[in-house]
Amino acid sequence: MGFADQRYAVNLSILFTELPLLERPAAAAAAGFTAVELWWPWPASPTPEPSGLDALRTAIEAAGVRLTGLNLYAGRLPGPDRGALSLPGEESARFRANIDVATGFAGSLGCTALNALYGNRVDGVDPDEQDALALENLVLAARAADRIGAVLLVETLNERESPDYPLVSAAAGVAVVDKVNAATGLGNTRFLMDLYHLAMNGEDLPGVIAAHAGRTGHVQIADSPGRGAPGTGTLPLEELLDRLAAAGYEGRIGLEYRPGDRPSAGAFDWLPATARAAR
């Protein structure tokens, strides 16, 4: 097997960002890809004007690509925010307001995965209180995702870049997944295995794959160190993806890396053009 035997989706919130948002789906298509994913494109607004949603939907459809993954509202990304659903007060309310808007948009495009970033710890707030709020909001999100036939993803980040984010191990992320599934009975909450973040945490990646591939709903990659394209760091990404496939993972691989000092269209030389279209 190898890189050419996987199915990919380009994350348009970290690649092709030199272009306006509405031009990125066509740029991904021109690079040979047929699937894309996005962080929530309006970081200041969980409920943007319908015209904005319509314009992005039209751009995706006109490019002939499929939206396969979408983050729910998570505040400013990139930036200091790392999610909203566990933050008491206004941010949690904004997350809840976003659920129906985001799932409606995702469902209109056949998107089958929604990612809910957990949120940073807040000084002066009991972590148990934040965890209870997070579970309540994740249950709401999982039920909304189920209504459009989608999975809800819970992601582990890395402690170096996100020191206030509580889910900085695969075990912690999977534990939240299990709690949400137990609360909803739906079984549609899954682990988002980001190999870059896990590597930055110093985890045993073959061990993580062996232990958690069965609970994994999506995989994202970037090389480490540097968060660049495969081959720019030291991670054996091709081997790791082969391990995932051998463990039964059949989903797409999200390309969530920085292009470096070049246009994004030039950041895919590690992947043969014939392998970029999702099968």
Q: Give residue for tokens 């989608």.
A: 150
Cα 194 from Cα 246, distance rounded (Å): 18
C-beta of residue 253 within 8 angstroms of C-beta of residue 220 = yes
SS3 10: strand
Cis peptide before 236 (omega within 30 of 0): no
Give residues with Cβ within 8 angstroms of 57, minimum separation 6. Answer: 105, 108, 109
Residue 181: its H or E element: helix 170-184
Cα 44 from Cα 24, distance rounded (Å): 20
C-beta of residue 268 within 8 angstroms of C-beta of residue 24 = no
Catalytic residue IDs: 155, 256
Structure tokens at 261: 């000092």
Among the listed residues 154, 155, 74, 152, the one whose alpha carbon sits nearest the alpha carbon of residue 113: 152
Burial readout 168-182 (b: 16 or more C-beta within 10 A, e: otherwise): bbbeebbebbebbbe
Cα 111 from Cα 52, distance rounded (Å): 18
**What secondary structure letter does DSSP report for 277?**
S
